[in-house]
């Protein structure tokens, strides 16, 4: 998975996508570009993240400078293991969404994600109510970011701010 960043007019912006309602899973959810490692095609998770970003949003891999890797996390639903990579582009990237995999591509300034009232948490029960977990949400003007994408975004923003990753993160990142 790739967290594409670019700077524009003094704001650092992050690129997000919305998955189509026709997808077999995570219909209509906000996500970062990403997907499975293809052993025949990809050398590693980083290579897969760059390939998937190119396939999904047309972000040419040679224009991305991967500057960081976030902790690998496991999803609760679907049992996926996700390794997020942070990548910089030189200015606003040229984006062309693959209509089968992406319904919408948009970008958000980090200042908006950190603004009062955008972020909140809820406690949700999983496994027939036996396990409670903290779920993060980012309420944007016309989209809600939640689930694994919100957890990755939270970890990224905490790193940017130099704050420790606390709470349920240890439980979420066990793979």
DSSP-assigned letters across all residues of 15-76? EEEE--TTSSSSTT-EE-S-----TTT-SSHHHHHHHHHHHHH---GGG-EEEEEPPPEE-S
pTM for the model: 0.88
Please answer whether residues 145 and 154 qualify as being in contact, where contact means their C-beta atoms are separated by less than 8 angstroms. no
Residue 92: pLDDT band (50, 70, 90) is very high
Residue that wins the pLDDT comparison between 71 and 3: 3
pLDDT band at 74 (very low <50, low <70, confident <90, very high): confident
Domain count, the chain: 1
Q: What is the pLDDT of residue 99?
A: 86
Task: Specify the higher pLDDT residue, 152 or 99.
Answer: 152
pLDDT above 50 (res 78): yes
**Residue 8, domain CATH:** 3.90.79.10
Domain enclosing residue 14, as ranges:
2-173
pLDDT tens digits, one per residue of 101-113: 899 999 999 999 9
Tens-digit pLDDT profile for residues 29-60: 999 998 888 989 999 999 999 999 999 999 99
Return the H-helix or E-strand segment holding 106: strand 104-109
Question: What pLDDT is stored for residue 166 in this prediction?
Answer: 59
């Amino acid at each position: 998975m790739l967290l594409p960043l670019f700077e524009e007019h003094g704001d650092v912006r992050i690129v997000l996508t919305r998955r189509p309602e026709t997808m077999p899973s995570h219909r209509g959810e906000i996500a970062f570009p990403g997907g499975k490692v293809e052993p025949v095609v990809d050398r590693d998770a980083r290579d897969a993240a760059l390939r998937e970003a190119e396939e999904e949003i047309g972000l040419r891999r040679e224009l991305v400078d991967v500057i960081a890797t976030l902790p690998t996390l496991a999803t609760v639903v679907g049992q996926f293991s996700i390794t997020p990579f942070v990548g910089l582009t030189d200015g606003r990237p040229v984006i062309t969404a693959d209509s089968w995999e992406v319904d919408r591509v948009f970008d958000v300034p980090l200042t908006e994600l950190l603004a009062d009232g955008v972020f909140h948490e809820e406690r949700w029960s999983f496994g027939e109510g036996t396990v409670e977990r903290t779920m993060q949400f980012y309420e944007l003007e016309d989209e809600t970011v939640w689930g694994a994408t919100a957890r990755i975004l939270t970890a990224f923003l905490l790193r940017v701010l130099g704050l420790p990753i606390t709470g349920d993160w240890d439980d979420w990142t066990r793979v």
